[in-house]
Amino acid sequence: MASTAPEGTDRLKLAGSLDIAAADELRARLAHYVAAAAEPVIDLSAVEHCDVAGAQLLWAALRTAAHGNKRLTLTGWPEAMERAAASLGLPIGELPSEGAGGL
């Protein structure tokens, strides 16, 4: 998994595989990013593979942002992300319900 956040922007671009092998790094990166960004945006267009662990961590990032009164926007949903989200029954682009746990 690779990620870039250009200086002076709230956009984070994720690339490569978001899977169980990258879960610890992804969790830490998302937690730091969501806490630091005023208006977080995650670009998923360069994600090539995503398993259930990756999808769950993105969903947790959405919940974490909501608990911090922020709106996290996920853009560029590739087919790999759509399949992983669908396998969990997660509606793409819909914020999690109140009271759900975060990162």
pLDDT at 14: 94
Pick the CATH number of 12-88 from 3.40.1690.10, 3.40.50.2300, 3.30.750.24, 3.40.1390.10: 3.30.750.24
**Over the range 11-24, which residues count as b (16 or more CB within 10 Å of their CB) and which as e?**
bbbbeebbbeebbe
pLDDT over 50 at 84, yes or no? yes
The model carries a pTM of 0.77
pLDDT at 76: 87
pLDDT at 78: 80
Residue 22: left (phi > 0), alpha (psi -120 to 50), or beta?
A: alpha
Encode pLDDT of 24-45 as tens digits.
Answer: 999 999 999 999 999 999 999 9
pLDDT over 90 at 82, yes or no? no
Encode pLDDT of 54-67 as tens digits.
Answer: 988 998 999 999 99
